[in-house]
Structure 1
Amino acid sequence: MVSGLINANPIIYEKKQRQQRSTQSLQGDEYTVEPIDQLEDPEHPYSLEELKVITEEAVEVNDQNSYVRVTFTPTVKHCSMAPIIGLCLRVKLLRSLPSRYKVDIRVAPGSHATEATVNKQLNDKERVAAALENPNLVVMVDECLAPSYD
């Protein structure tokens, strides 16, 4: 029986134990604090951390220069969900960080068959804006960003 999944049996890694963190976002003249929750792979009920799509070491933050770079590794070289995963990461950061930050989302070098194309899509403001005008895509992104409870 074919499941229809691109990677039906991914390797699952253990999550790191860490303290709950939060981010601040400006709403009006007040800061609100919201917890940073897990992102889930659109294809599996596992977190991106459990699939090693994203790791702490793959997140670079330069607060002085207001710059964040996230490098993610799809579970398979031909993952059709790579642009969606990258878009979810970008949207989460844009919603969580102050607007002064430049966000750079990248596929890990050599980890995807169309790495250059995916990187170009994820870092082109006009393409991202156009993608977020698609109501079906926005629903998918919001589902990916919905809190999950262990």
Structure 2
Amino acid sequence: MSSLGLINANPIIYEKQERRVRKPSSKDEEYTPNLIDQEEIFYHIRDIKDPEHPYTLEELKVVTEDDIEVNIEKNHVRVTFTPTVEHCSMATIIGLCLNVKLSKCLPSGFKVDIRVAPGSHATEAALNKQLNDKERVAAALENPNLVEMVDECLAASY
């Protein structure tokens, strides 16, 4: 892909974290492989590919484990992501990818809330509204071109 037309032609690339193996803290505890917490959510979304670059959202620090909030009692997950540039035209696609991936890996009944980090995008409020409007998300996922882009970004994360 040519760097012509890219919003951020030379993004900063960060080293990926080593994947941790979950172990119970004592012999008496039972290991729960599907424990839903920050680490588990990050495990599922870290390998989503950026729509413009051959790097993952983790490598670009678009998402980090600290950007994830989980409330088990309310069946709620919030992921706050940080686009690499303030005018990122792919922020909507990134948000859709996060939404689709989490919808597929979380138990039914979980509310997924996707947001851009405060001050990280020029149209932050509009973008947050769009990403959390069920009807807009459903309409976007009926567009074959958007679905193809989302599928390409998610291919490496499955």
The answer to which structure has the higher strand fraction is 1
Structure 1 outlier segments of 4+, above 4 Å: 20-24
Correspondence for 1:32? none
1:23 CA drift (Å): 5.4
2:154 and 2:66 map into 1 onto residues whose CA distance is: 21
- Structure 1: runs of 5 or more not aligned: 25-34
Deviations 1:75-124 (A, max 9, x none): 00000000100010001000110111000000000000000111011000
- 1:1-150 aligned within 5 A: 3-19=4-20, 36=44, 38-147=47-156
Percent identity over paired residues: 73
Which letter does structure 2 place at the counterpart of 1:84? I
1:20 and 1:137 map into 2 onto residues whose CA distance is: 34
- Structure 2: runs of 5 or more not aligned: 23-32, 36-42
2:77 and 2:69 map into 1 onto residues whose CA distance is: 6
What is the TM-score normalised by the length of structure 1?
A: 0.85
The answer to which structure has the higher helix fraction is 2
Give me the CA root mean square deviation.
2.2
What is the TM-score normalised by the length of structure 2?
A: 0.81
1:144 CA drift (Å): 0.6
